[in-house]
Structure 1
Amino acid sequence: MKHLTITAKEASALLARTEDHYIDFKSIAIKPASLEKLVSAFGNSSGGEIIVGIDEVSKGLFEWRGFARSEDANDHVHVLLGPFPDSDTFKYETLSADGFEGNLLRITVAKTRAICRTTSGDAYVRGAASVKRVETAEQTAALELQKGISSHEDATTKAPLEMVTDSLQVTEFVVDALTFTEADPWLRSQLLIVENRPTVAAVVLFADEPQIVLPKASIMVYRYASRDPVGRREDLVSGQTWNIEGSAIKQIHGCVAKTTELIESVKGTNLQDVSYPPETLHEIITNAVIHRDYSIADNIHVRIFDDRVEVESPGLLPGHVTPRNLPGARFSRNETIERMLHKFADAPNKNVGEGLITAFEAMKAMRLTPPEVTETENGVLVIIKHEPLDSPSTIVLRYLSEHDTITNREARELTNIQSEGRMRRTLGAMIAQGALEQVPGTTKGGYKYRLKSN
């Protein structure tokens, strides 16, 4: 095992952490079999760290009580190496720190696509504050759906064939995107009709009213005149909610339009300065419709507050994707829905796999904080805050605390301000405020600026 020596400051910071979904502290007295269950649960959830050698002496108060020697952790590791071999997925190392007695065992577990099972063949998942065994076939199937091993989009439905072969939506699609075939044989060739039954993907994509068969496959939109952490009924504007139904593409376009309309309608009051990049709203709503878990009977919920927009979709992040590796991680729960949507003439996902990257970059370009992605108990919550990044002047001052000078071009690159004139006005205001001065001898077109000397 690799051994790391950390600083006393790092050790204190570790002890100050709060146990959560991504980290767990255990005593060295933990039995290896119990540790197996915990590693399985982490691998079947969102991954994280297990630190062995830290005791909870009182509620939320932890003490470092490690193994006397690093080798003393070997008994635990040897048991774990059978079901969870040392790899990029499971890593084992010991930690020591000056001023702290003993060695910790740190087990780092990555989220995996495969189901992680113990030596006995059992699988576990993490609950709110516990480890639960996956006991039934139904629970195993649910875990396979959650991890992306299987997808509910492939399941067949009881919908009549004409619901997807003779709908207005499929007629539009055939005219706009195919132009050379009839709907029925094409849907069969794409395995969207199996055993003479439309699949969930076929209904979601091509039925005019998928909600007849999938009652919760729609989007609920709420507008709260509030900045409270949780929306309350009394804060609903006009007491209204909006239910966006129809095929997947109709839901996406309809929800983006309604969300934009609601944001625009309240400007000049308590959302006077609020503006979100349209790419961000579009990509995050598109992402929710494509990647939601259609086996869960719940709607997508879009909540518009005075200071943020929340998009919550059913189903945890699939495969190896976690909030920590977004937006770059790439994994599709519903590959057929994603692929087929891309074939539409007005495809909402023109750049397949780039949706969240586009959303994050658009927020950065508007100098807003990036979207925040978290997992709830049964879903994924994306929060788009109207919270600006540091002001351009703050960024310039921070840069000059470590560099002698800055140019207009350098300042624009740092602040994501595209206009040379706008950046020049910002630098001029900082000079007027006494924060900066122009470097003597520099000329127009090559001006340099520095902190004003006292």
Structure 2
Amino acid sequence: MSTAYLHDLAAAPPEDRLQRLISAPEDQWFDRKSARIAPKDLARALVAFSNAEGGTVVIGIRDGAFDADLLSPEKENAIRQTAVDFTLPPVRMEISQIALDNGRSVLRLDIPPSEHVHETISGEVYLRVGDESKKLTYAQRRELDYDRGSSHFEHEPVHEITLGDLVPEEFARYRSVIGATADDATALRARSLLRRDGTLTQAAALLFAEHPQEWLPQAFVRVTRFSDDSPGTGSRQNMESGKDERFEGPIPRIIDSAAACVESWMPHRRALGTSGKFSDQPIVPTDAWLEGLVNAVVHRSYSMAGDHIRVNIFPSRIEIESPGRFPGLADPTRPLDIARYARNPRIARVCSDLGITQERGEGIRRIFEEMRLVGLADPEYHQTGGSVQLSLTTLSRLSAEQQESLPRGAEEILSILRLHGRPLGTGDIVEESGRSRPWVRARLEELRASGVVHWDGRSARDPRAVWSLPS
């Protein structure tokens, strides 16, 4: 569900609101609960949202139907006291009602991200990941305690600017997507971007100030292109003349400008596209490097002075290096197993509002999928003492021996299997390629003999047999 969805509800007729709430998918920032829920069970969701990026819980919907009529005054009062009675330290939340038709309503609980690690009174710690509240192990909880300190920075006050210093068009866009109708201060508080004393936070400045680099000089992206796969040093440096740009300003503007630069400087190669035809393709899929760039800007450690994001473009690879190590909850050697964790939850939430980021924590997984879709090697993450580097190369997923043994027309078959991302029957591949069945069958058998594709079936005549790529 879009993070602006609940704001759109206010403009919807009351008779339409219930159906919208029922049909909206649960995600990183939205959950539905029945009015029957016990406060101790509700506490798990409150803890999970608070430990992650904040979110909203709507109470009064069960199995796709309204059940808030079960909210007696006693039950509603118990729900309002859940944070105090069942979470440690008590989770902050705002409680309101969403008016429906015929005088009905449901409860709405808004939970902001916290600078602390919260647990239930039974000592369990949860983290919101996608549409689940995941229970953390003891070791993960310790790492969360450690990592939580970095999220303090984006909530620190910035005394150098006021509301009048925000970029009008950027802030207007934000107000529009969250459906803000009240004053600017209220719109900022909706995402915890304004402190209780009325001071703007570092997150607000980074997102909307004209030039946050005045007090955070490290908050920029540098894009550089090299003529050789080795950057070289000194007089042997291979940086191309005029191909070194620095991008500053608010975060949305930095991402747009840096992305346009990378796209214009990206080397191309003649390759088979997902359409099955040869054409000029960027050496690395656009969606892969763009996801990497966005992740770097949104999740970098802005508290690390003296370091910035670097995007280095080489003839056969792209490297994106971002200040700040992976959070302790993440194992960089197993990037696909990394659970969603935002170092800057307020920045991440607003960037999702603005359509800059995905909502379900699929950034790393999407980079892998895009690289695999065109047959390139998996992304590589390297962690140094103070940064994370993502490397996207033009190396094939196939070994040199496999590439050497590929039969003519094999890339066409492989492209179809990559595009679908699931096992396909011979008939499916025949239909997609427009080739004859004997030709497709012959290519598939050759690929199978080379170990490039797998066949899964009970017998040679099994109509349900399928072909797939190795994982």
Report the TM range for the smaller structure's normalisation: 0.5 to 0.7
Shift of 1:396: 12
1:301-320 to 2 correspondence within 5 Å?
Answer: 301-320=310-329
Question: 2:81 aligns to what?
Answer: none
- Are 1:207 and 2:209 counterparts? yes
Question: 2:187 aligns to what?
Answer: 186
Matched residue of 1:152: which SS?
helix
Partner of residue 355 from structure 1, selected from 354, 363, 371:
363
Partner of residue 343 from structure 2, selected from 321, 330, 333:
333
Higher relative contact order (CA 8 A, sep 6+): 2
Amino acid of the structure 1 residue aligned with 2:142: A
Question: 1:169 aligns to what?
Answer: 170
Measure, in 2, the Cα distance between the counterparts of 1:110 and 1:223: 44
Question: 1:378 aligns to what?
Answer: 386
Measure, in 2, the Cα distance between the counterparts of 1:209 and 1:448: 56
Matched residue of 1:223: which SS?
strand
Matched residue of 2:237: which SS?
helix
How does the TM-score come out when normalised to structure 2? 0.53
Q: Number of residue pairs matched?
A: 295
Measure, in 1, the Cα distance between the counterparts of 2:316 and 2:237: 17
Matched residue of 1:374: which SS?
strand
Change in Cα spacing, 1:213 to 1:416, as seen in structure 2 (3 Å) is: same
Partner of residue 236 from structure 1, selected from 236, 239, 251:
239
Measure, in 1, the Cα distance between the counterparts of 2:191 and 2:466: 61
Measure, in 2, the Cα distance between the counterparts of 1:352 and 1:280: 16
Change in Cα spacing, 1:115 to 1:320, as seen in structure 2 (3 Å) is: closer
347-356 or 232-241: which moved more?
A: 232-241
Partner of residue 287 from structure 1, selected from 273, 295, 299:
295
Measure, in 2, the Cα distance between the counterparts of 1:350 and 1:384: 20
8 Å CA contact retained: 1:291, 1:333: yes
Matched residue of 2:175: which SS?
helix
Provide structure 2 residue ranges, at least 5 long, that are not aligned to the other structure: 1-136, 271-279, 407-412, 451-458
Question: 2:254 aligns to what?
Answer: 251
Question: 1:263 aligns to what?
Answer: 266
Measure, in 2, the Cα distance between the counterparts of 1:391 and 1:274: 22
Amino acid of the structure 2 residue aligned with 1:377: G
Measure, in 2, the Cα distance between the counterparts of 1:212 and 1:251: 15
Change in Cα spacing, 1:448 to 1:365, as seen in structure 2 (3 Å) is: closer
Matched residue of 1:331: which SS?
coil
Matched residue of 2:341: which SS?
coil
Amino acid of the structure 2 residue aligned with 1:238: S
8 Å CA contact retained: 2:150, 2:303: no
Q: Any idea what the Cα deviations from partners look like across 1:131-159, whole Å, max 9, x if unmatched?
A: xxxxxxxxxxxx95x56564311111222
Partner of residue 114 from structure 1, selected from 123, 142, 148:
142
8 Å CA contact retained: 1:111, 1:321: no
Question: 2:32 aligns to what?
Answer: none
8 Å CA contact retained: 1:279, 1:362: yes
379-388 or 314-323: which moved more?
A: 314-323
Measure, in 1, the Cα distance between the counterparts of 2:379 and 2:139: 22
Measure, in 2, the Cα distance between the counterparts of 1:218 and 1:384: 21
8 Å CA contact retained: 1:288, 1:300: yes
8 Å CA contact retained: 2:150, 2:301: no
Matched residue of 1:327: which SS?
helix
Measure, in 2, the Cα distance between the counterparts of 1:316 and 1:262: 28
Q: Any idea what the Cα deviations from partners look like across 1:2-37, whole Å, max 9, x if unmatched?
A: xxxxxxxxxxxxxxxxxxxxxxxxxxxxxxxxxxxx
Shift of 1:413: 7.3
Amino acid of the structure 2 residue aligned with 1:314: P
Give aligned-pair identity as a percent.
25
How does the TM-score come out when normalised to structure 1? 0.55
Change in Cα spacing, 1:250 to 1:420, as seen in structure 2 (3 Å) is: same
Provide structure 1 residue ranges, at least 5 long, that are not aligned to the other structure: 1-108, 117-142, 399-407, 450-454
Amino acid of the structure 2 residue aligned with 1:205: L
Shift of 1:395: 8.9
Amino acid of the structure 2 residue aligned with 1:295: S
8 Å CA contact retained: 1:193, 1:202: yes
Shift of 1:167: 3.3
Matched residue of 2:337: which SS?
coil
8 Å CA contact retained: 1:159, 1:197: no
Matched residue of 1:243: which SS?
strand
- Are 1:368 and 2:368 counterparts? no
Amino acid of the structure 2 residue aligned with 1:353: G
- RMSD, aligned α-carbons: 4.4
Partner of residue 224 from structure 1, selected from 223, 226, 231:
226
Shift of 1:111: 6.9
Measure, in 1, the Cα distance between the counterparts of 2:466 and 2:360: 43
